[in-house]
Structure 1
Amino acid sequence: MKTCRIILLAVILLCCERVNAQTEFDIEAFAEELFSLQEEDLDYEQLYENLLQRYLNPIDLNRCSPDDLQSIYILTPLQVSNFFKYRRIYGQFLSIYELQAIPTFDLDTIRKLIPFVTLEKTTEKYSHKLPKRIISEKTAYLIYRHRIYLEKRKGFIPPDTLKNGSLTSRYQGPPGTQYLRIRSQHSGDFSFGITMDRDAGESFTWDPSSRRYGFNFLSYHFTLYDKGPWKQITVGDYQAQYGQGLVFGAGFSVGKGAETITTTRRSSTGIKPYTSSMESGFFRGISATYQKGRFEGSIMVSSAARDANIDSTAVPYRITSLPSNGYHRTASEINRKASANEKDVGININYSSEDRNLQIGINSLMTRFELPYIRDFRNYNGFEFRGQANLLHSAYFSYNYQNHFFFGETALSKSKGVAYVAGIMSSLSKQLDLVLHVRNYDRNFHSFYGNAFGEGSRPINEKGIYLGLSYHPTKQLQWNGYYDQFKFPWMRYRLYSPSSGHEWLQRISYRPKKSMELYFQIREEVKDRNVTAYENDLATYKIQTGRKHNYLLNLDIDISEQFSLRSRVQMSTFDYHQEITKGYTIVQDLNFAYKKWKWSGRIALFDTDDYDNRQYVYEKNVLWAFSIPSYYGQGMRYYLLAQFKPIRKLSFWLRWARTSYTDRSTISSGLQEVKGTHLSELTFQVRYQFNR
């Protein structure tokens, strides 16, 4: 068998088209494929950062489970099944290029998969001690980024004096943002990282009394992998993902979008280092995973200072809200910085069958705040968490049978609120994939780190059923579609009564050749919302159904290896309160590469009747930064991005972008207000790879 394996690998390398694993992966383009359904209620920066974590922590092909492979949303159930059949027959992979021998694995799929996977040398003997390995690791790098808006916002001009002699509120720091990341990691051995970030308007100061120490935000971690029975030990910042995200849901998850099959379920990827600049949604402390046979046990202990608004007039003091935007620019924002401590203790016990097809686990998480967390009462938040501590338990499973994946999780919070998720993802044939997903989240279910699939951003007060299909009759043609029916049993923010709605999407993609792709997408979303109150009108407590349609036509053409074009037209209509409004944008992109330079540019025209028709369009940005602004009003948007790599170790990026409006003389409001008709930003970034 071993001789046949070597012959097979030799044939693959000699006769098949070779996939270049050394080309730098365009993670921004991959993210755009997953996020091609632009919505106003998605945190794209958080989604992109979580995708980046998956990219920076690749999966070992010789040790991965079906759940691991599904976590990167690339492979269909049939492809995952074929992968494990191949590994079961031939044993461990000798080369990544061996993926080309697996049935249904086409070159396009392999190119997408390679950046997220690796082959660890299980018998590798380290000739240097750990500090030396960290310093000399070939993947070690430093990134520094600076971004600034060229027009001055109101928050940066001198303050005015009020009648009582006090000064108006202003930002206390300079207008530019700063970002610094240092990272060194070796898969299966260690990971070390430091991330520092300062937002525009935040001062760079050392002031322990206001809990500010230079950069506004500092994240750090040190992780050891596979040290005897210890699968991982992490000190510092980390995230956890187990089950379907009802308890631990901090991993990368997209939800509904143009990828209608693989993004609906969550995967148990375990505990991963946290290196993002997002200032919430992570644990800070120590975690460890111990493996014995088919069982794994993980423990997480965390103590972190959270931003909080505190009511000091209450007895005792209480937390009224936990802001997550991470801004500390004004006196009031600085006052809430790291003002309340949160302690968390979590455990996970996980069993995997010998063939890795069956996975069963339990989760528990206790969260305790320094002060009682009691929101100001409103009718819609009457069932939200109120107290000082929350206890959460869940049980989950996933089972892979041939081309079918079954998955589910059920959870119970301290309030007796229950949540459950159940579903099946299946390849019915080589051409047809299906997913069915059922969810129910009680109105009094409380999970601070949950991120389960749903219409809302949190697993609370929602019931729904989702059906997704993907059909590709030929290699050139593909149709994706889904239908999601949902219900909110209790009131929501800005919605005076229980409500329901539905959403569907259809997308047709045509790729006649590798260098060209054309796709058309249509989506409908129907949801209730409050009717705007009118003077002397009793409409204040009425709701009405809104119906929104989004249309998208996109053409990508690679003219040569150096030159590519993208043309896009987006349009939307919104039917609400006996009025139909609309919006559209026309976008033209150009990309050019020559020797050590890469250039990207865009010109976009947009015209929208109102805010409900704003258009979200992905933009290229500097490495590992994500940009998806909304076009609203009338005007133009354009940008130019340049990348220069003078030597192997060093890369530079420079990006200039501007939005010019024709329907206003003032942009934004409050301290973000800009006098004028255009808004420009400039971004500079440098990356140094220490050991390339």
Structure 2
Amino acid sequence: MRKYYIIIILITCNVSIWAQTTDSQAPHPWENIIGNMMDDNDEEAMEWEDMYDALHELENNPVDINSATKEDLERIPFLSDSEIADILEYIYRNGDIKTPAELTMIRSLSAQKRQLLSYFITIKDTEKKGFPTLKNILRYGKNELLATGNIPLYDRKGDKNGYLGYKYKHNIRYEHTYGEYLRIGLVGAQDAGEPFFSNKNSLGYDFYSFYLSIKKLGILKSFTAGRYRIRMGMGLIMNNDLSFGKSMSLTSINRQGSNIRPHSSCSGYNYMQGAAATVSISPYIDLTAFVSYKDFDATLSKDGESITTILKSDYHRTKTEMAKKNNASQFASGGNINYSRNGFSLGLSGYYASLDRPLKPNTSSVYRKYYAAGERFYNVSADYGYRNGRFSFHGETATGDCQAWATINSINYRIKSNVSIMALQRFYSYKYYSIFSQSFSEGGSVQNESGVYLGIDWQPKRAISIRYYTDIAYFPWAKYQTKAESRSFDNMLSIGYATGNWTFSTKYRLKMREKDNAEKTALIYQTTHRGRLSATYTTPTWSVKAQADATYMKYKDNSFGYMATISGGCTAISRLKLYANIGYFHTQDYNSRIYSYERGMTYNFSFPSFYGEGIRYALLLSSDIIKNVRLTAKAATTNYFDRNTIGTALQQINQSSMTDIQLQLRWLF
């Protein structure tokens, strides 16, 4: 019973602290909103991290909404195609937006979207602008220098024997920006256990990203050199740009044409390296072209003549991992031409790619039989769309050297200003592949899937928002843990209510997916129920949030788990901001694990999972020590009640708790 008394005391202390303090505006108040919108599983965690990084950049360089073009508003990832059109139409009909409160006049924007949008836009009187002079760029541009480090107060097995480097994780980034016109940046990142200024990392960090991005220079709509991300069409052949969980991905999937974005995150895998540009060759036609050459990590065959696996983990801690660093290379080039006028849009995309040695995946497992293979690859696609008032239709159809087809098509209809429905159909042949594809899917790839999605967004009142979807998918060929054709059903209902200082939300998700039984003689359903309840009280000076999560999985065995969390923050003390959270979790095993968003450092995404029994608590302090210099520190501990070791193999920690200290210094000049 002692551990439960400790939990109650800690929760009581935290609530009393928050209730007695006052605060000014939090530095990143949008983070909690995004945390509530995240899907409660790890399947799209990397994509959420990419969006999190992009939103921090957008917060630093907000969109001037009164002079924004369609492409400018598409920088905001949570806005749908129809919401962007409604914003532009409102400004065209009524003139400049004067205050954020005026966004309530755009009925297609939910209360949550309006609140989020206010953090990423600036409102100015429209004025004719041109590309700035070099003198103004140097004189008035903004500089940001950011250094972040993680200090674990424990040792992993590999830290003592096995890892090539020390146990500290750190990264540094510098960026110079001038509004929406110019970005120049450099990022260096190091994971725990990786060598620093030694081995293959003779230049210091294990990973670097560098980029130069120019926008709105005459007919040159955008140009990026260095490391970048690109999306064409709806992602059937090319998309290493933003993509995130199913509950949010539909907001941006209908955007057509192409998008180029600097690779400013610490991820060492999903990017291109070279140059990409979009040119406006007429008021209605845009042309995009890109070229890329980069090294990447791979597992090679024993004779070194072929690639068996393209690696995405980006870890180089051991001799084995380091030997696979940048041991293969890839060339890619392609482009997109897009025509858009009077609601109609049509685009053609294509690319050619080659590897320095053939890709030969291990096809001994039946589900790998149609994985991409070869040395040279190409894909082509056509994307198309039409929008008129309340109705919109978008789609893309693709093929390639695989000699198979993939298509995705969606219809969106706004029945009333507060009710919209969406239907989406996709067919991805089990023989289809593209080495750069990423689009809407249940199976995790643009291959071996047919499905239908039906969703509805309804605001019965301004304070109430309801979202529901059901998604039915069929996999005609074997998949991992499935030796035959299979099916899945995914359903989600979320309800939000805001009144005064209170915000309440509830979310329930039921997911059923066929997998092999224990004897591998037949398919049975893996059924997962996930539920969440939360209540938030916010004032201009402080906030507190209580959240309860539960998971029940039925597969070969039954597994149940839950987690109760209280979090909040304040900035009552001059130049000091405080955020804290505490949560108790109890799950039967890994299958009923709980995912919980946690406030982290700037540009550092934190979405940990918990299983077993224990308590998680964290404290984050942020202080503007001098003008334009912010120091942030976070201490987080996970204390397990049901084990004496944490992790396995080289990651094993020989104790029942783990504490990490994070430090970050941010200088704006």
TM-score (norm 2): 0.90
Paired amino acid for 2:297: D
SS at match of 2:34: helix
In the alignment, which residue of structure 1 is the partner of 2:602? Answer: 623
User: Which amino acid counterpart does residue 302 of structure 1 have in structure 2?
Assistant: S
Q: Take 1:23 and 1:406, find their aligned partners in 2: how far apart are those partners?
A: 39
- Give the counterpart letter for 2:622 in structure 1: Q
Q: Using the TM superposition, give the Cα deviation of residue 186 of structure 1 relative to its aligned residue in structure 2, in angstroms.
A: 2.0
Q: Which amino acid aligns with 1:398?
A: G
The equivalences for 1:351-500 within 5 A come to 351-353=339-341, 357-377=343-363, 378-500=365-487
CA distance in structure 1 between the partners assigned to 2:280 and 2:249 by the alignment:
35
- CA positional deviation for 1:596: 1.1
2:222 is matched by which residue type in structure 1? Q
Distance across 2 between alignment mates of 1:101 and 1:638: 38
The alpha-carbon distance between structure 1 residues 301 and 41, as it changes in their structure 2 partners (threshold 3 A), is: closer
* Distance verdict in 2 for CA 1:108–1:521, change over 3 Å: closer
Question: Is 2:89 the counterpart of 1:85?
Answer: yes
**Equivalent residue number for residue 181 of structure 2:** 189
Verify: 1:34 aligned to 2:37, yes or no: yes
- Partners of 1:484 and 1:504 within 8 A in 2: yes
| 2:280 equivalent in structure 1 | 291
Q: Out of 318, 327, 330, which is 1:330 matched to? A: 318
Aligned pair partner of 2:568 in 590, 593, 599 = 590
Deviations 1:619-660 (A, max 9, x none): 011122111111100111111011111333111110000111
**Residue 233 of structure 2 contacts residue 256 of structure 2 at CA under 8 Å; is this kept in 1?**
yes
Give me the CA root mean square deviation: 2.6
Work out which of the residue numbers 276, 294, 311 in structure 1 matches 2:265.
276
Which residue in 1 is equivalent to 2:171?
A: 179
Aligned residue pair count: 639
How do 1:89-168 residues align onto structure 2 when only pairs under 5 Å count? 89=93, 93=96, 100=103, 102-104=105-107, 109-117=113-121, 123-124=128-129, 128-129=133-134, 132-157=135-160, 159=161
Sort the Cα spacing of 1:225 and 1:77 in 2 relative to 1 into closer, same or farther, 3 A.
closer
Higher mean displacement: 619-628 or 248-257: 248-257
Check whether the contact 2:81–2:252 (CA below 8 A) recurs between aligned residues. Answer: no
Deviation per CA, 1:366-422, whole angstroms, max 9, x where unpaired?
Answer: 111111011112211101111001101011123221022211111112111211110
Show CA shifts across 1:86-143 (max 9, x none).
Answer: 343356x4767595485436876444224444579774467752xx545444432011
What is the percent sequence identity of the aligned residues? 24
AA in 2 matched with 1:148:
I
**Which residue in the other structure is 1:550 paired with?**
530
Contact 2:131 2:181 in 1 (8 A): no
Tell me if 1:235 matches 2:225.
yes
How far apart are the structure 1 equivalents of 2:459 and 2:75?
22
Separation in 2, partners of 1:270, 1:328: 31
**What SS is found at the alignment partner of 2:237?**
coil
Provide the rounded CA distance (Å) in 1 between the counterparts of 2:353 and 2:361.
17
Instruction: Give 1:542 deviation, angstroms.
Output: 3.7
- The question of 1:528 aligning with 2:514 is answered yes
Query: What SS does the corresponding residue of 1:384 show, helix, strand or coil?
Result: coil
Q: Distance in 2 between matches of 1:211 and 1:147?
A: 19
| Separation in 2, partners of 1:98, 1:632 | 43
Render the CA deviation track for 1:239-289: whole Å, top value 9, x for unaligned.
Answer: 1122211122222222422x5963564554511211111011111011222
Asked if the contact 2:553/2:591 (under 8 Å) is kept, the reply is: yes
SS at match of 2:203: strand
Cα deviation code 1:9-35 (max 9, x no counterpart)? xxxxxxxxxxxxx98543422431331
Change (3 A) 1:440 1:96: farther
Alignment of 1:11-50 (within 5 A): 24-40=27-43, 42-43=45-46, 44-50=48-54
1:559-578 paired onto structure 2 within 5 Å: 560-577=539-556
Q: In structure 1, the residue corresponding to 2:632 is in which secondary structure?
A: strand
Q: Is the 8 A contact 1:217 1:277 kept in 2?
A: yes
1:672 to 633, 651, 658: 651
CA distance 1:64–1:471, shift in 2 (3 Å)? same
1:296 CA drift (Å):
1.1
Alpha-carbon deviation of 1:72? 3.4
| 2:13 alignment partner in structure 1 | none
Cα 1:453–1:403 change in 2 (3 A) is: same
TM-score relative to the length of structure 1: 0.87
Question: Cα gap change, 1:511/1:348 in structure 2, threshold over 3 Å: closer, same or farther?
Answer: same
Letter in 1 for 2:377: N
| Structure possessing the higher relative contact order (Cα contacts under 8 Å, 6 or more residues apart) | 2
Counterpart residue number, 1:5: none
Amino acid at match of 2:565: V
> Residues 223 and 476 of structure 1: is their aligned pair in 2 closer, same or farther, counting only changes over 3 Å?
closer
| Cα distance between partner residues in 2 of 1:87 and 1:626 | 35
Contact 1:264 1:437 in 2 (8 A): no
Q: Is the 8 A contact 1:260 1:482 kept in 2?
A: no
1:234 counterpart letter in structure 2 = T
Query: Which consecutive unaligned segments of at least 5 residues does structure 2 have?
Result: 1-24
Correspondence 1:199 to 2:191: yes
Structure-2 separation of matches of 1:231 and 1:397: 21
What 5-or-longer segments of structure 1 have no aligned partner?
Answer: 1-21, 160-169, 533-538
Please, which moves more after superposition, 241-250 or 584-593? 241-250
One-letter amino acid matched to 1:628? F
More displaced, 170-179 or 219-228? 219-228
Are the equivalent residues in 2 in contact too, given 1:450–1:459 (CA < 8 A)?
A: yes
Q: CA shift at 1:184, angstroms?
A: 1.3
Work out whether residues 260 and 470 of structure 1, in 8 Å CA contact, stay in contact via their aligned partners in 2: no
Output aligned runs, 1:247-286, within 5 Å. 247-257=237-247, 259=248, 262=251, 265-268=254-257, 270-286=259-275
1:689 aligns with 2:668: yes
Alpha-carbon separation, structure 2, partners of 1:53 and 1:279: 19
Q: Distance in 2 between matches of 1:551 and 1:582?
A: 12
1:548 and 1:345 mapped to 2: Cα distance? 42
Cα distance in 2 for partners of 1:278, 1:73 equals 19
Instruction: Using the TM superposition, name which of 540-549 and 372-381 deviates more.
Output: 540-549
Letter paired with 2:325? K
Q: d(CA) in 1 for partners of 2:204 and 2:351?
A: 33
SS in 1 for 2:321: helix
Q: Which residue of 2 aligns with 1:16?
A: none
Q: Structure 1 residues 562 and 570, CA, compared in 2 at 3 Å: closer, same or farther?
A: same
CA distance in structure 2 between the partners assigned to 1:346 and 1:386 by the alignment? 20
Report deviation, 1:49.
Answer: 3.3
1:506 pairs with one of 470, 473, 493: 493
